[in-house]
Structure 1
Amino acid sequence: MSRGLLDAQNGARPSNAQANNAHGISRRGFLKFGVTVVTVGSAAGGGLLLGFSLPASSQDQKTGKSVIGGDADEAQQSGVFAPNAFIQIDTAGKVTLVMPKVEMGQGVYTSIPMLIAEELEVPLDAVTLDHAPPNEKLFMDPLLGGQLTGGSTSIRFAWEPMRRAGATARVMLVNAAAQQWQVDPATCHAQAGQVIHAASNRSASYGQLAQAASALPVPQNVPLKDPKDFKLIGTPVKRLDSPEKVDGTALFGLDVRLPGMVYAAIANCPVFGGTLASVDDTHAKTIPGVREIIKLDNAVAVIGDHTWAAKRGVQALDIKWNEGAGAQVSMKTIVGDLAAASQRNGAVARKEGDVGRAFSDAKTRVDAVYQQPFLAHATMEPINCTVHVRADACEIWLGSQVPTRVVDAAVAVTGLPADKIIVHNHLIGGGFGRRLETDMVRQAVKVGKQVSSPVKVLWTREEDIQHDMYRPYYYDTISAGLDANGKPLAWQHRIAGSSIMARFAPPAFKNGLDPDAVEVAADLPYDLPNQLVDYVREEPHAVPTAFWRGVGPTRGTFVVESFIDELAAHAKIDPVQYRRSLLGKSPRALNVLNTAAQAANWGSALPQGQGRGVSVMHAFGSFFSIVVDVAVDQGEVAVERITCAVDCGMVVNPNTIEAQVQGGIIFGITAALYSEITIKDGRVEQNNFTDYRMLRINETPPIEVHIVKSGEAPGGIGEPGTAALAPALTNAIYAATGKRLRQLPVGRQLHSA
């Protein structure tokens, strides 16, 4: 990570209005080509400013006609066009990328600059980064419909527009040099931040040419490099942000220190939906360093000179709560409601053929119920948010996946206009979907309104786990009808559970169908002639639910790939061979399966008590297959080895892919073996890593990642490893023990069996 990024993290963020006009360029100055909007002008102090965007929609919302082209102001007003990033090249030759994505360990602060550097013909270390300010119109990701980091979309979103912006800038710089030298641009070439005319032995740096290039017309449809000519893309590159993370100079939200800052510790009502009745703060006020006690509707905050004083103050409070109806909620009622909901017909996600007739024709019917628990995010960096609320403005420091929603949350609490909310976004110490939410922002701003100085609001690990927004509990009923050879004739799958999309993105929840909840389940790689997949929404009595590292694919892959294994067992066919017989119409899925199976030495003998399991998945635009080797001894599972094959299309940085897959798999092992959130009397029973266990270093198996070469557009990589892991693990346990696990986590199921 560049020093420029660190400076940007410390510096003030411009308001939305300031961001729109930071470089003195009218929105009407945007010129368009193809699916990309391009801006060109002089940067502050001279230089070249190149912006680019993707359209939020390829059709006019009123007429249905194509909206590529047209006036940029009108496009913004209609909500159709939304620029998402800018490149600036100053007269010193410095290339700055205003980064629309947030770094939370996934490596985008290296891989996205690689796209720019490749086409612009500059060294990677010549590209510096600034956090993008909150601005939905300028920095929207059309794949997600907002300025968000998540969904394994960063490279998919950036692949073409970032490269095209770099290529366009390069061509303009070459044209500027050719004009100055009065030569044919075709006789010039760009190399290492310079334009060179070899015939006359002349060269000029990008900085020298930036001013002249800014006055040139923007060429349309600039060709991108043929992948065979890539010099940087596809090569293993060390992470640019690693040095600062190693030496401690990288700034996360938890690292914020401001002059005069005080600290707040929180005690939230332990019961979902409960409120504060009363608080006796007599003892808390006697603790050295405690300044004041702040009451909120459902919480109490203690303000201290430092974190220790604030935490001790919270511990000294005598609080009484109005528990309300939430105190009646328990796992028995939640699971019972889901089981009842699964008996109702749901919103149809996929319907093919005649499922009823196919079941009648089937020789064998297999039925199963799968359950997956609530899960907390338990990010390494606990929830925190620093605010300074004044009469005329509100400043916020944190790490967020949704900076514009942070603004919206602050507006709702303070009543200030959006351009008076200043967000300083930082590196994120673990997101996994938790920092797609803004509950921590709303609470921090409520505290900040009652404190005159900047205040850092901290949630302890206990508060974090017990007041998270949880991966939903899912209840799946699934059936298949098999022919005489054991192949599926009929397939019926019903998903019952909370709808995250109905809350998070209401327009996406249509006709009772949550598209995330049915992902993977409704689009299988397997050839199944008669299918019915539906969804029943059942909310879990005030328990807040949210995304958790690939909710739909994670949930769906566990059910589908576990059930496919069951069908293979009923047919007495090897699980890999059974899958091969169903993947004739999905060659990429078949290829990763074959690659993983061969690398794992599938079919070789294992000692008694050991087993090998497999899964296949197509999600996030990528194809995955995982093979897991386990040893099971008296109910204890040791994961011995994991072999993974991934086809994620064109590879930008193989180092990032390997690291993301390994990290996702470790995250998935932890969840599958140990993780669950249980509710009793309206309270979360787990409170720290003592009872919400993490996988330890010595328990982590060797993980082999085999990247399959592909010429397809890039797919996502941050979540697939997690999503594909659990069924391969439980299938391996079945191979070792003969016990079929249809409910997670594994540990509790094995010990209770």
Structure 2
Amino acid sequence: MTAQTRRQFLASAAGLVIGVALPLRARAQSGAAAAIGDGTIAEGGFAPNAFVRVAPDNTVTVISKHIEFGQGPYTGLATLVAEEMDADWSQMRVESAPADNDLYANLAFGIQGTGGSTAMANSWMQMRQAGAAARAMLVAAAAERWGVDASAIRVSGGTLTDGTRTASFGELAEAAAGQSVPVEPAVKNRDEFTLIGTDRPKLDSRAKSDGTAQFTMDVYRDGMETVVVRRPGVIGATVASYDDTAARAVPGVVAVHRIPQGVAVYATSTAAALKGRAALEVTWDTSEAETRSSDEIFAAFREMAEGEAIEAERTGDAAAAIAGADTVHEAEFLFPFLAHAPLEPLDAVLELRDGKAEVWMGAQFPTADAGAVTQVLGLDPADVTMNVMLAGGSFGRRAQPTAHIGVEIASIAKARGGDGAWKLVWTREDDLTGAYYRPITLHRLRAGLDSEGNIVGWENRVVNQSIIAGTPFDQGGLDRTSVEGAIEMPYALPAIAVDWVKADLPVPPLWWRSVGHTHTAYATEVFLDELLERAGRDPVQGRLDLLRPEATRDRAVLERVAEMAGWTGARRRGDRALGVALHESFQTYAAQIAEVSDAGGMPRVHRVWCAVDCGTAINPNVIRAQIEGGIGYGLGAILHNALDLGPGGEVRQRNFDTYRMLRITEMPAVEVAIVDSDADPTGIGEPGTPPIGPAVANAWRVLTGTSPRRLPFAQTGV
């Protein structure tokens, strides 16, 4: 999705008029003061822009425009500011920004939002300039106080000196507030970095460890009612009628109301709300629902794959090349619906008093959710305050272009009527059966080899839903998120044909960690590995030989991971096998080698080596953590996870007993090498996930002779 289409999509979904981000010079102290926290700055402190606040106690607070749900933006953004300020790491603090498009837009999206592994990439220069501006104003204040030229001032570890006198940031904060804000402050050269590129502990770890961190579930308001919603058992069904007599008789239940999302039960406690919901009698209208099973959907996809398609990529005449090939290889890959299953399910708190609403939620698109509340309740945008909370994971689930949680909490308040406070709670069952899944997907691949084993033609037809369908810019054309990773591969193949068939289902789709790459990497890298095997070629050297001359970063990570794993060309090491995969996503290049054994008919992954090039490494500790987490997340998905629709369309998996997470005993040892780069930072939250599936599958084929065609491994009995 391009930046322009993201802006159009998100703006229309929330019904908002989106403004572009203001230039740094417009984010002067007065604007920052109005936008930060409760609108005040501690006496004697200053905020040179909307991103930095320096207090008299010598703390430097960075205002994060990106939500923190474990992926590390608080630490990364603080590192950028601290680097340019020459601050001491111990004085750095972070707070979440309020909803404000003008001040806190993601420069890749055009609105305030977190996703697509863009947090560091879009903030790289913006946050450095914010820190540089603060430093310049502190230096100017010191020079004025001491009667010296600014060039005589040195800054290190949060202290300024002219060689004889010293002062801390806090001591100079008040004086710095009176200085002019630099319009284009100079930033450091890369060889001057002292914090960027070094391991730093995450700033939110202590609070999350000692229980002081505040999540949405920790928010309580006076007189607050807890609300759960009875939702349909079949996705897309609506309420035909309901009987709440038994529900209202449950002690603690105070009200029951129909809302667009189902039937809401209001209670004085979560337990009472859940008991009341269980007592409801609801009749559902399934006329517009998805009542097919997953098997029936796949059967329909197979038929659709034979029909018309939208062209995604063309090089040469693939059909003719394959028709004239000596050997033709074919494969069909099936990918199930996947839930994001963050450990903290969706929740939100809304308080309505005297025509003003305040919301607390882990919002990835806070201005969209705030806009939804504004519309549903009929309020002025200035009367809606959005508090972006820490969140216990997301993997894309909280990035809702429809702002459906904002709509739902506002609908709950509207149905109740009058002032009050309400906490919406989704259970794990709500989470797993409530749709917004990674789309169910079919890949059909065909390729031809000549007599020497060279690939002469490559075809791939993808059938799935469009995640961005229904938006104003959706004109029936190609949705690149459906085929990303299947097109523009780094391999120099003479003839390529990639097509997409758009499927329409009543099941709302949503981007899942690494979006299209989660299935395209598996299909393309497993299929390529099979072709190399049929040609009698080494899977590492075969890939290197195929790489385009300009694919230098792909080549670097593949060569590095082979070195890390001690690759010699032998794919077996005793009872274990090695599998490799290479994939670029979100402008980050990753190669992985997995060491796998057969544990009673299921893969046991012992070790994974990963080489990654994500541009300048802001905090290697966070990068390694994200790669390790992405590998664990992706491994759990390919081994165990599927949201299956049974006969009649009912979701079979309802909790972690049937939608099983990767266990700690299944987590492999992971070694990560970060390839040195002087390129600007690119994404890291998602690129670790796509290669793990094909790397494991390719190793599994060495052990068993087969690559799984339908995921997950456990479901197909592989």
Give the TM-score normalised by the residue count of structure 2: 0.90
- Determine if contact 1:347/1:511 at 8 Å carries over to the other structure: no
2:373 pairs with 1:375: no
2:518 pairs with 1:554: yes
| Other-structure match for 2:407 | 442
2:635 pairs with 1:669: yes
Residues 220-619 of structure 1: pairs in structure 2 closer than 5 A: 221-326=184-289, 328-390=291-353, 392-437=355-400, 438-451=403-416, 452-503=419-470, 506-507=472-473, 509=474, 512-540=477-505, 542-585=506-549, 586-602=551-567, 603-604=569-570, 606=572, 610-619=576-585
Superposed displacement of residue 557, structure 1: 0.8
SS in 2 for 1:712: coil
Superposed displacement of residue 530, structure 1: 2.5
1:547 maps to a residue whose letter is W
- Determine if contact 2:257/2:264 at 8 Å carries over to the other structure: yes
State which drifts further: 113-122 or 365-374. 365-374
Superposed displacement of residue 357, structure 1: 4.5
Structure-2 separation of matches of 1:448 and 1:220: 44
| Other-structure match for 2:595 | 629
- Determine if contact 1:642/1:702 at 8 Å carries over to the other structure: yes
| Other-structure match for 2:48 | 50
- Determine if contact 2:370/2:406 at 8 Å carries over to the other structure: no
2:538 maps to a residue whose letter is D
Superposed displacement of residue 565, structure 1: 0.5
2:73 pairs with 1:108: yes
Structure-2 separation of matches of 1:297 and 1:171: 53
The alpha-carbon distance between structure 1 residues 239 and 92, as it changes in their structure 2 partners (threshold 3 A), is closer
The alpha-carbon distance between structure 1 residues 341 and 237, as it changes in their structure 2 partners (threshold 3 A), is same
| Other-structure match for 1:125 | 90
Structure-1 separation of matches of 2:185 and 2:349: 44
Superposed displacement of residue 90, structure 1: 4.5
- Determine if contact 1:584/1:590 at 8 Å carries over to the other structure: no
2:130 pairs with 1:165: yes
Superposed displacement of residue 195, structure 1: 2.5
2:148 maps to a residue whose letter is V
Of 679, 683, 690, 1:712 maps to 679
Q: Quote the RMSD (CA, aligned, Å).
A: 2.4
**Unpaired runs of 5+ in structure 1?**
1-16, 21-26, 52-84
* 1:295-351 alpha-carbon deviations (Å, 9 max, x no partner): 234522222221111111212222222222426322233223322222234333322
SS in 1 for 2:556: helix
- Determine if contact 1:41/1:215 at 8 Å carries over to the other structure: no
1:377 maps to a residue whose letter is H
The alpha-carbon distance between structure 1 residues 295 and 219, as it changes in their structure 2 partners (threshold 3 A), is closer
| Other-structure match for 1:191 | 156
Superposed displacement of residue 426, structure 1: 0.5
| Other-structure match for 1:736 | 703
Superposed displacement of residue 636, structure 1: 2.2
Structure-1 separation of matches of 2:492 and 2:217: 49
| Other-structure match for 1:60 | none
The alpha-carbon distance between structure 1 residues 605 and 336, as it changes in their structure 2 partners (threshold 3 A), is closer
Structure-2 separation of matches of 1:194 and 1:711: 29
Structure-1 separation of matches of 2:179 and 2:386: 35
* 1:53-111 alpha-carbon deviations (Å, 9 max, x no partner): xxxxxxxxxxxxxxxxxxxxxxxxxxxxxxxx522334554433221000000111111
1:745 maps to a residue whose letter is P
The alpha-carbon distance between structure 1 residues 163 and 639, as it changes in their structure 2 partners (threshold 3 A), is same
- Determine if contact 1:39/1:49 at 8 Å carries over to the other structure: no
SS in 1 for 2:415: coil
| Other-structure match for 2:607 | 641
2:158 maps to a residue whose letter is G
| Other-structure match for 1:653 | 619
The number of residue pairs the alignment matches comes to 684
Superposed displacement of residue 549, structure 1: 0.5
* 1:94-145 alpha-carbon deviations (Å, 9 max, x no partner): 4332210000001111111011001101112323222111112221112133
2:521 maps to a residue whose letter is T
Superposed displacement of residue 500, structure 1: 0.7
1:559 maps to a residue whose letter is A
Identity %: 37
The alpha-carbon distance between structure 1 residues 319 and 40, as it changes in their structure 2 partners (threshold 3 A), is closer
Superposed displacement of residue 502, structure 1: 2.5
SS in 2 for 1:500: coil
* 1:440-465 alpha-carbon deviations (Å, 9 max, x no partner): 33222222223353121212211211
Structure-2 separation of matches of 1:354 and 1:627: 33
